[in-house]
Structure 1
Amino acid sequence: MTMTTIDEIKTTINDYKTGQKTIEQTILTAIVQARATCDLEGKESSNCLEAWEIVEELQAEKELQKQAKHRKTDLDIYCEMYPEALECLIYDV
């Protein structure tokens, strides 16, 4: 039995979940595979639509990760306002 492009996309997602691929690599691979799915099965096919939904979900995941990295803690905000506060001082040892 040969793998369909949807199966290949799911394999790519598993590679991402196990740390074998980055989210960017996964998205690029999923886009290529979604295009191939649509070329093979038609742009109105359920597999084509599913493939592009997966791409959109991956892109949303990347955006969530990006936002999570940029969230400031209360301490970060406090230290921006009061950099001279004891809690914010950094010492070289």
Structure 2
Amino acid sequence: MSNIQDQIEQAREQARQACETSGEDSADCAVAWDTVEELQAEASHKRQVKPKNSLEMYCDENPDAAECRVYDE
């Protein structure tokens, strides 16, 4: 998770530099801040993924076990 946080910090710095260089109303500035927003959204999505319970982990390791069978109706 810290890797994406590092990427967000780098993108923020690049966005600040782009806005200083090109101006706050420039397309470069807007694109740079859009990148920051996309990275933040990805980080938020990763935090929302629920961890697997013990049965799910067991079934990942033993897909042929009776407890893990899925029947189509």
User: What TM-score does the superposition give when structure 1 sets the normalisation length?
Assistant: 0.52
Q: How many residues align?
A: 54
Corresponding residue for 1:38?
Answer: 19
Q: Which amino acid aligns with 1:54?
A: T
Runs of at least 5 residues in structure 1 that lack an aligned partner in the other structure: 1-20, 77-93
2 CA distance for matches of 1:34 and 1:72?
A: 33
**Percent sequence identity over matched residues?**
37
Give the aligned CA root-mean-square deviation in angstroms: 2.0
Match status 1:66 vs 2:62:
no
**Greater relative contact order (Cα 8 A, min sep 6): structure 1 or 2?**
2
What is the Cα deviation at residue 73 of structure 1?
A: 5.2
Corresponding residue for 1:29?
Answer: 10
User: What TM-score does the superposition give when structure 2 sets the normalisation length?
Assistant: 0.66
Corresponding residue for 1:53?
Answer: 34
Runs of 4+ in 1 over 4 A off after TM superposition: 72-76
Runs of at least 5 residues in structure 2 that lack an aligned partner in the other structure: 56-73
